Amino acid sequence: MRGILVIAAAFLLAVCVAAEGEKEYVLTLDHSNLTDTVAKHNFIVLEFYAPWCGHCKSLAPEYEKAAAELSSHDPPIVLAKYDASDEANRALATQYEIQGFPTIKILRDGGKKVQDYNGPREADGIVAYLKKQVGPASPEIKSKEDAANLIDEKKIFVVGIFPEASGEKFENYLTLAEKLRAEINFAHTVDAKLLPRGGPVDKPTLRLLKPFDELFVDFEDFQVDAMEKFIAEASIPVVTVFDNDPNNNEYVNKFFDGTNSKALLFVNFSSELEAFKSKYNDVAKLYKGEGVSFLLGDVEAGEGAFEYFGLKPEQAPLIVIMGTDDQKYLKDHVEPDAIAAWLKDYKDGKLKPYVKSQPIPETNDEPVKVVVRDTLQDMVFNSGKNVLLEFYAPWCGHCKKLAPILDEVAVSFESDPDVLIAKLDATLNDLPKDQFDVQGFPTMYFKSASGKLSQYDGDRTKEAIIEFIEKNRDKPVHSDSAKTDSAKDEL
């Protein structure tokens, strides 16, 4: 038996040694060699990761598999990784504006050009995506076979049509293709008849092929900024569909990334879609180019949107407008024929903004008082008191840790009628952004009795918070203590 165990142990050791000896194709970089390594490569892919990140751990074997396959590409495509959570590595990670993990960047020309990687996260997808990225930004279409191989009928595709591949317009086009190659697929041709849609042209033309609306649209201004703006606008459907179809995700993301005001209509696709679809599309066409983008969403898929707006599915069919000034407008139980008139009222400035608020609490007798948006003005700004207001999120661990400390602070001021300790759930109540800048949780503001508003950024201890309140509080104008002091002054 002992002999068998010795053999087994030896076998396992051999396996481990073999595994340790396997070549790793992903380069591991740190602050000491990142800059020099990048400078040596015309094209290198760099993953910024953290060892504790679950998504990074899931990506790791796929990234390694892709690196192994791409190592035999001609020329080899190098994949590297960089632990951005390591203290010594953070300075360089900051230069690349890393906000989360994993983040993958494509670096060209020795790091002079940096692009976000927007491709798949599994090995085959990574390989296919990067092979396209390392080739020319705009390959030439010389035959119908080339067009069929390059153009995906289900995606946006941009083709530059030129009588000859030279001149200023062609060079501007190549500049644009290089700039946007990580987001859009490009190609060029001298013969428009090779393309699946659109007729022949006799002058330089930018043709955008798309799987929705009019299926293709031509453009003739070859200034780089003008072409980029055209592609951004033409790549969004007249009405973006938001449902459970993953093919629509790309367009939904573009819709929300856009700078226009946003109109969102939610209906039950199973029973109400046909009644609303054509009417809503007509309205969207009417306002095209006037600063409003349109989305038609399925109530079933819009659970997150309803939660964000503080609405309930039974309010559908409903339409919401998100203005560029952060104001929101809402009409629930809307009829198809009423949408056009309601949009006109919005454009004419006749609608009253919708403000999300939790219901006013029936009882509010805990030491830390509950404020909602509908009571914010009375309980904080018009109260005449010194108010410490916490903005929190129910899921926030730091908020949960702060809660018992705020309770102790509130108890210590219970007998003081001039001080109020309060909290507001910032996930369920809209905030006046001109007064409160809440970028994370918890965030605390102090409003003195005289109206001075300041953000608290001290230690989150009972002693520090009480000391801050005592130092910054004012005597309420109408309080009994103020009247008593005034009377003493007169004597």
Please enumerate in sequence order all residues whose Cβ is within 8 A of that of 272, keeping only pairs 6 or more positions apart, or say none.
316, 317
How far are the Cα atoms of 100, 281, 283, 294, 326 from residue 322, in angstroms, in the given order?
A: 27, 18, 17, 11, 7
Tokens of residue 298, six digits: 């399925």
Run of H or E residues at 456: strand 453-456
Check residue 487 and give its pLDDT: 41
pTM: 0.62
Q: Tell me, what's the pLDDT at 169?
A: 96
Mean pLDDT of the chain: 89
Report the CATH number of the 240-348 domain: 3.40.30.10
Taking 60 as the threshold, does the pLDDT of residue 441 lie above it? yes
Candidate list 27, 44, 56, 92, residue with the active-site label: 56
Residue 453 pLDDT exceeds 70: yes
C-beta atoms surrounding 272 within 10 Å = 16
Higher pLDDT, 46 or 356: 46
Instruction: Please tell me which residue in 78, 208, 241, 399 is annotated as part of the active site.
Output: 399
CATH code, 144-235: 3.40.30.10
- Per-residue confidence (pLDDT) for residue 58, from 0 to 100: 95
Judge contact between 403 and 390, C-beta under 8 A.
no
Which CATH number applies to 369-472? Answer: 3.40.30.10
Q: What is the pLDDT of residues 301-337, one digit of tens each?
A: 888 888 888 888 899 999 999 998 878 999 999 999 9
Domains 27-134 and 144-235 fall in the same CATH topology: yes
Catalytic entry in 396, 403, 438, 482: 396
Distance CA 455, CA 424 (A): 15
Residue pair 151/208 in contact by the 8 Å Cβ criterion: no
Question: In terms of pLDDT, which residue wins out, 488 or 255?
Answer: 255
Sequence-ordered strand ranges (E) for 290-350: 292-298, 318-322, 328-331
More confident residue, 393 or 486: 393
What is the model's pLDDT at position 451?
92
User: Of how many residues is the chain composed?
Assistant: 491
The reported pLDDT for the residue numbered 306 is 85
* Mean pLDDT computed over 193-216: 94
Residue 477: predicted pLDDT? 61
Q: Please report which confidence band the pLDDT of residue 478 belongs to, taking 50, 70 and 90 as the band edges.
A: low
Q: What number is the average pLDDT over the span 104-133? A: 91
Residue tagged active-site, from 43, 53, 212, 482: 53
Tell me the per-residue pLDDT of 123-156, one tens digit each, with 9 for 90 and over: 999 998 898 888 889 999 999 999 999 998 888 9
State the pLDDT confidence band at 22, using cuts at 50, 70 and 90: low
pLDDT higher for 402 or 14? 402
Judge whether 92 and 34 are in contact, CB under 8 Å: yes
Residue 40 pLDDT more than 90? yes
Query: Is the per-residue pLDDT at 249 higher than 80?
Result: yes
Residue 491's pLDDT band (boundaries 50, 70, 90)? very low
Least confident stretch, 335-349, 392-406, 408-422, 426-440: 426-440
CATH superfamily of 27-134: Glutaredoxin (3.40.30.10)
Q: Tell me, yes or no, if 16 is annotated catalytic.
A: no
pLDDT at residue 176, rounded to an integer: 96
The full set of domain ranges for the chain reads 27-134, 144-235, 240-348, 369-472
Q: Taking residues 227-232, what's their average pLDDT?
A: 93
- Alpha carbon 485 to chain centroid, angstroms: 54
pLDDT band at 480 (very low <50, low <70, confident <90, very high): very low
Does the pLDDT at position 229 exceed 80?
Answer: yes
On the question of pLDDT at 481 being above 50, the answer is no
Q: Which helix (H) or strand (E) holds 390?
A: strand 386-392
**Strands, E, within 127-254: which ranges?**
157-161, 185-189, 205-209, 216-219, 239-242
